[in-house]
Amino acid sequence: DAGVIQSPRHEVTEMGQEVTLRCKPISGHDYLFWYRQTMMRGLELLIYFNNNVPIDDSGMPEDRFSAKMPNASFSTLKIQPSEPRDSAVYFCASSLYTDTQYFGPGTRLTVL
C-alpha cells in the first residue's frame, strides 16, 4: 500500500493567495483527518470526516479555512485568503474503525 499521499510536499505563497492542499487516504479507510503543526501550538486536529461527511470541524481556526471530501479517495484543505500565521506543516491522516491513524508525509506551507 502506498500509504497516505499528500500534495504538494512544499508550498510557498504570498499573503492573500488561495492555497489548496490535497490528500489521498489509504484505500478502504473510512476516516480522514487534517492536522496542523506549528512550533507554538504543536499538533492540532483541524477537522475529520467519516465516510466523506465532516464530523467535527471545531479545530478549524476561522472561516478562511475550508475542507472537503468529495469522494472516499480524495480530500482538500483550502485556505483563502492565506496569511503568514498560516505557515505550518499540514498533515492528513486516515484510519479504519480500528482507531490506528496513519499519517501522510505532510505539506510544509510558507506564506510570505
Q: Which residues bind another protein (CB under 8 A)?
A: 4, 31, 33, 42-45, 48, 50, 55-56, 91, 93, 95, 97, 99-106
- What CA–CA distance (Å, rounded) separates 21 from 80? 12
**If we measure between CA atoms, which residue out of 96, 21, 106 comes closest to residue 51?**
96
CB of 19 to another protein, least distance (A): 19
Four-point Cα dihedral 112, 60, 47, 66, nearest 10: -70
CB of 105 to another protein, least distance (A): 6
Helix (H, G, I), strand (E, B) or coil at 77: strand
> In terms of CB distance, is 71 or 98 closer to another protein?
98
Q: Specify the amino acid at residue 40.
A: M
CB of 103 to another protein, least distance (A): 3
